[in-house]
Amino acid sequence: MVQSKLISVNKTLKVRGKIIDLSIPKVMGILNVTPDSFYDGGLYTRESDLLKQVEKMIHDGADFIDIGGYSSRPGAEDISPDDEWARVKPAIQSIKKEFSSALLSIDTFRSQIAHQAIGEGCDLINDISAGQLDSNMFQTVSALQVPYVIMHMLGTPQTMTQFAQYDQVVQEIINYFHSILYQLNQHGIKDVLVDPGFGFAKTVDQNFELLNQLEQLHVLGKPLLIGLSRKSMVWKTLGTTPEFALNGTTSLNTVAILKGASILRVHDVKEAKETIHLLAKMKRSTQKPAV
């Protein structure tokens, strides 16, 4: 499906009063301070390791750092808000102390954690449940007036694999987001990014169908944040493991950018930035007038 020229997609994001131009895609580096995330669980629980990784991601060109203290892999343990906050609070404080200008995103579906994280210096809220797991989230985002990432997921991380049943997966995802965006508009929330939720309540085949038709989501009029990094749709298809899924991730990130992604959420910042740079070069070359 070719995107209609009548569809206007917002290509800016307002963060702490600063306008970020998304016409050239940005990169969000993943920083999980969890013991059990599917790829990097347990790697950054010590402050020295955490700061070393943040320094590397910033050096490699990360535009945002996404901090998560609750593992959302299928079947992950459900931890308490206190345990989640105990993981992310020291991480946020350490990063803001060492890298004060870094733009930080808090990856949480809990309004309490979101509110506390913004208070400690985070700039965005990244909610895998799009407000469906915490009835106070929309009110919290509205009060904080920070950008809000809404993701498509059915059920919870513990139950989502049971809900991977759709008649028309892409259209049902679009309908889901239309409903959420209407509610956000009622709360006065304008700076919204849409994440279709690759790997969340979707089979491998459904994930590829979604990626193949990703441009249809532009009908929502919001920038797309895409998270494909080392996910099972990559490594299961290639018959490998997450550790050997970087090349496959880069291939699918290329497709996502060509289909209009505004932000890539990745474990490997350098490779994502290189992908964006090369595709931007290709785009510029096609815009030059013929001699």
* Residues assigned a catalytic role: 231, 265
12-15 and 18-21 beta bridge pairing? antiparallel
CA separation for the pair 271, 253 (Å, rounded): 10
Phi-psi region of 145 (alpha: psi -120 to 50; beta: other; left: phi over 0): left
CA nearest 28: which of 66, 58, 68, 70?
66
CA separation for the pair 53, 56 (Å, rounded): 5
CA separation for the pair 171, 217 (Å, rounded): 9
What percent of the residues of the chain are helix, what percent strand, and what percent coil, each to the nearest 5?
45, 15, 40
Torsion angle defined by CA atoms of residues 149, 219, 180 and 15, in that order, rounded to the nearest 10 degrees: 30
One-letter identity of residue 163:
F
CA separation for the pair 7, 73 (Å, rounded): 34
CA nearest 111: which of 80, 138, 90, 82?
138
Counts of helices then strands in the chain (DSSP H, E):
9, 10
